[in-house]
A = this chain, B = another copy of it.
Amino acid sequence: MRVSLKDVASHAGVSIKTVSNVVNDQPHVTPAMRARVQKSIDELGYRPNLTARHLRKGRTGIVALALPELGNPYFAELAAEVVDAAAEHDYTVLLDHTGGRRDQETLVCQGFRSRVIDGLILSPIELEADDLRERAPVPLVLLGEREYDLPYDHISIDNVAAAREAVRHLIALGRRDIAFLGARRGRSQPAHLRLRGWREELDAAGLVADDRLVAATDGWGHADGAAAMARLLDAGHRLDAVFAYNDLIAIGALRVLSERGLRVPEDVAVVGFDDVVEGRFGAVTLTSISPDKASIARMAVESVLSQLDGVPRQQARRIHAGYTLVHRESTLGHD
């Protein structure tokens, strides 16, 4: 049977309160008393029951992280950062994956597990503002590209600016026919941010943003990128560069390009988004937008914890994390 505070108290011949004081490092305990209690704790092998503590304090020390999919290394790398950031505040992370499905995302927000987590960090894909009409039962922070007009903090990089920088880089290389891979198929959202950045930068450069060079995908994996690239090539449109929604799509495209005998970057330059490790080790390393994952994670955790301490946000904060464009072979050529 497990040993409780009470057991320690009677073993040490003191009251529960005193033991509690020792356990919680309260100041007003005499050193002698502290030593005596500590001895009992050690002998009995006492360990505090966190569930009970949490019930009492109203906090669990757990924050949930709900991501579309762990299989995508970007999210996996981000999850690792969140775990670290949370650990710095003595918080642990409960992991969910929603599959990017609206029902799952809604469920997670509306208090699924609400009483066992202190807060939620969510990276939504399909979630709509309506799904969040009623206030989330715990502090909530949103991550990622989707934007909502809701009173929740939202942390992301400036997707439009980042996309523009990627396209600008391609244009500077002399490319003119720049495809976009990874527009969402069948989503209501009119133009997501990275696609908008692609369009804006092309417009700004006086080039045409040719919709025939926009390839939609069902998902965001390698296979989706490969399929989209193949479709574009099969359609016979001229193109000399590709800007992909993310690295996985870009890498899928790279594969098809090589199968078709097209050289990267000579024939087609490619830029991805996310800077996943995998992009640094292909036959052609991938130029990519590199979001500052560590600071995204840190800010997300801090947002949750500050909401926990203070009043719930009336006003959403839109926080932009940093990013850089990392130049690699897919736009530079081999050394």
Contacts and interface: CB of A to CB of B under 8 A. Distances in A.
Contact of A278 (B114, B115, B222): B222
Interface string A87-101: 000001111110000
Chain A contact-residue range equals: 35 or more
B95 A83 contact: yes
B51 A70 contact: no
Interface stretch (A154-162, A165-173, A197-205, A247-255): A247-255
Given A116-B51, A222-B277, A93 B92 contact: no
Contact of A222 (B70, B97, B281): B281
Residue among A75, A77, A115, A281 having the largest count of chain B Cβ atoms under 10 Å: A281
Q: Copies per complex?
A: 2
Interface in A67-118: 69-71, 73, 75-77, 79-80, 83, 92-97, 111, 113-116
B97 A94 contact: no
B55 A52 contact: yes
A284 interface: yes
Nearest to A257: B283
A120 interface: no
A17 interface: no
A83 B94 CA distance: 10
B73 A80 contact: no
A238 interface: no
Contact of A277 (B49, B55, B221): B221
A92 B83 contact: no
Given A60-B116, A94-B95, A255-B283, 5 more contacts: A47-B114, A54-B116, A76-B79, A251-B282, A282-B283
Interface of A: 47-52, 54-55, 60-62, 65, 69-71, 73, 75-77, 79-80, 83, 92-97, 111, 113-116, 137, 221-223, 226, 251-252, 254-255, 258, 277-278, 280-284
